[in-house]
Amino acid sequence: MKLLDVADRYCKESSWKTLALLKFCLFSIGLMVGMQVPKEKRKAVYGAGMAIFLVTYIPLMAKFFRLWTKKWEETYEH
């Protein structure tokens, strides 16, 4: 799993700006791929994309809000 170790290290050493650029890059690739899908298959591809988005977005936002509330509690409990 050396590739995943490198990915973890990359994320730890990156700022939010770098990770945002990575997400824009992946988004643009998704747009380009989406433009190549035949019209009759677009609905299925869109459905799969939406499912993947929801499956990944919800845990990411849950972690974000968990960290946010933890920081909020640490700041205002003292």
Write the pLDDT tens digit of every residue in 13-65: 989 898 888 888 888 888 888 889 999 988 998 899 889 888 988 988 888 88
Question: Which one is predicted more confidently, 53 or 73?
Answer: 53
pLDDT of residue 73 exceeding 80, the answer is no
Q: How many residues does the chain have?
A: 78
When pLDDT is averaged across residues 1-11 and rounded to a whole number, the result is: 85
- pLDDT, position 1: 67
CA atoms within 13 A on the CB side of 23: 12
- pLDDT, position 38: 92
* Structure token pair of residue 46: 């869109």
